[in-house]
């Protein structure tokens, strides 16, 4: 158990809908990262927050947005969902702001868009 929690574990929804994925980092960690992992694909970095502020942006679509709250939990919002958004979404946390710290991954949220 990494100490990072993600809810829900599974999510099934229809195209065009909007969903929110939630992540709670390890105690003491200030950074939260979001990744998308499609079948047979690597880890696509989406976005990073550090202590409530957006820190780095990766290949995140405009239909996706995220935020980190004062209690450091983070939410990833996916809207106007398409079939291709079906994937495993991981969040990870680390103690520091940069990429030079170990990242602890949550168990992931499996999103299925039908």
Question: Which residues of the chain form contacts with another protein (CB under 8 A)?
Answer: 2, 41-43, 45, 48, 55-56, 58, 90, 92, 97-100, 102-103, 105-108
Q: Choose between 19 and 46: whose C-beta lies nearer to another protein.
A: 46
CB within 8 A of 21, min separation 6: which ones?
6, 7, 8, 11, 75, 76, 77, 78, 89, 91, 109, 111
Using only C-alpha atoms, what is the Rg of the chain? 13
Phi then psi dihedrals of residue 56, to 5 deg: -155, 150
Q: C-beta of 14: minimal distance to another protein in Å? A: 25
Q: How far is the CB of 80 from another protein (least distance, A)?
A: 26
* Minimum distance of another protein from residue 105's CB (angstroms): 4
H/E segment holding residue 21: strand 19-24
Nearer to another protein, 14 or 39 (CB): 39
Whose Cβ is closer to another protein: residue 78's or residue 104's?
A: 104
* Residue 52 or 58 having the CB closest to another protein: 58
For 26, other C-beta atoms within 10 Å of its C-beta total: 17
């Amino acid at each position: 158990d990494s100490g990072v929690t993600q809810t829900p574990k599974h999510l099934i929804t229809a195209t065009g809908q909007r969903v929110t994925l939630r992540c709670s980092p390890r105690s003491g960690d200030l950074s939260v990262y979001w990744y998308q992992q499609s079948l047979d694909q690597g880890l696509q970095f989406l976005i990073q927050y550090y202590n409530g502020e957006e820190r780095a942006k990766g290949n995140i679509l405009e239909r996706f947005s995220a935020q980190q709250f004062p209690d450091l939990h983070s939410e990833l919002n996916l809207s106007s969902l398409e079939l291709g958004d079906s994937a495993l979404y991981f969040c990870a946390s680390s103690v520091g702001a940069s990429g030079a710290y170990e990242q602890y991954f949550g168990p992931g949220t499996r999103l299925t868009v039908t």
